[in-house]
Structure 1
Amino acid sequence: MSKIVPTILCAALLTLPVAATAGGRVLSNDLSQCQRGPSALIQIDGIKSSSGKLRIQSYRATSSDWLAKGRWLSRVEVPARAGSMTVCVPLPEAGSYGIAVRHDVNGNGKTDLRSDGGGMSNNPSINIFNLGKPSYKKTAFAVGNAPKNLSITMKYM
């Protein structure tokens, strides 16, 4: 894969809203919540350092909700650990969702394009001529009344 595509995807991921707005619930990473009911058990790979925080947000997979400011359903924030981490995101009901992950490497709460990274459910690529966010259709996954296993690979500049 060309270096241009991951760079542009990373830039698109880093435009995700940073401040806590009128979104949903902020949760702890309680893996027991992914033993039953609608939830996403997410294996996050490719975390480049153990500094800063990971922010994992869930959205309904609709064009009006996906990555829209204040439209996230739940958020889990955890200290970053280089390599791989597993995170549980409980979901409100069976349905179609998307997950966005952001690594704030220096923990300053701001987007630093040269150091911060991101990833999304289904690990979408992005069209280099469309610098916007990937479509909700590319990141959507279905969840029934049981946990859904996902794998997200982080991308950095």
Structure 2
Amino acid sequence: MTRLKSIAALGGAAILAGLGTVAPGVPAMAQASSSNDYRNTISNNMRSCAPGGGPAVRVTINGIKEASGKVRAQVYNATSGEWLESGKWLNRVELPARRGRMTICLPVPKSGNYAVAVRHDVNGNGETDIRTDGGAMSNDPSINIFNLGKPGVDKTRFNVGNGVTAISITMKYFA
């Protein structure tokens, strides 16, 4: 493995770890805090992102390398105390992966600043496999190995109004 691939793998491991995994046998909802009843694993209801819908984020995910496993997208409040923190996401959509491009809709509770994280669990085992899995975040921040690959919320934050905000992100893989 070249030095560059080693660095990418190190940063990639941290990004994927930041996207979180659900412990085997623990339902996703069990991670939700009782103080925020908006936190949900939801279906990909594109009607929420149709004209006149919202507030919501329509996320186009580009560069999905394989049609295997699952793609998980999570939307967070864009604060340093919530961004990529375990169980702090507001809504999550999980779908079977499709190679190339997928579009999902993530409703949000109100207009404001948000950030999105996406993970492709290529083999669908629910664990982070740094050699195969991929990840992406809103605004496509670069991987910084010195902060262990977890970009600050300032690099991923975007504003959602009362309607639908469209964003496009590109998956990054480490192998």
**Could you tell me the TM-score, scaled by structure 2's length?**
0.84
Equivalent of 1:28, from 21, 43, 47? 43
Question: Which runs of no fewer than 5 residues in structure 1 stay unpaired?
Answer: none
Q: Give me the CA root mean square deviation.
A: 1.5
Task: Name the SS for the 2:41 alignment partner.
Answer: strand
In the TM superposition, residue 17 of structure 1 has moved relative to its aligned partner by 1.5
Aligned-partner Cα distance in 1 for 2:99–2:148:
28
Q: When the two structures are aligned, how many residues end up with a matched partner?
A: 156
Q: Residue 13 of structure 2 contacts residue 130 of structure 2 at CA under 8 Å; is this kept in 1?
A: yes
Instruction: Look at both structures and tell me which one has the larger radius of gyration over its CA atoms.
Output: 2
Structure-2 separation of matches of 1:8 and 1:120: 17
Residues 150, 8 of structure 1: alpha-carbon distance in 2 compared, 3 angstrom cutoff: farther
C-alpha distance 97-145 of structure 1, shift in aligned 2 (>3 A): same
Tell me the alpha carbon deviations over residues 70-106 of structure 1, each in whole angstroms, 9 at most, x when there is no partner: 1100000010000001111111100000000000000
CA distance in 2, matches of 1:5, 1:88: 33
Aligned counterpart, 1:131: 148
Q: Alpha-carbon deviation of 1:25?
A: 0.5
1:18 matched to 2:21? The reply is yes
**Matching of residue 47 in structure 1 with residue 64 in structure 2:** yes
CA shift in 2, pair 1:99/1:86, >3 Å: same
TM-score computed with the length of structure 1 as normaliser: 0.93
**Does the Cα contact within 8 Å between 1:58 and 1:100 map onto a contact in 2?**
yes
Structure 2 unaligned spans of 5+ = 23-27, 34-38
Say which SS state the counterpart of residue 115 (structure 2) adopts.
strand
Higher fraction of helix: 2
Q: Percent identity?
A: 55
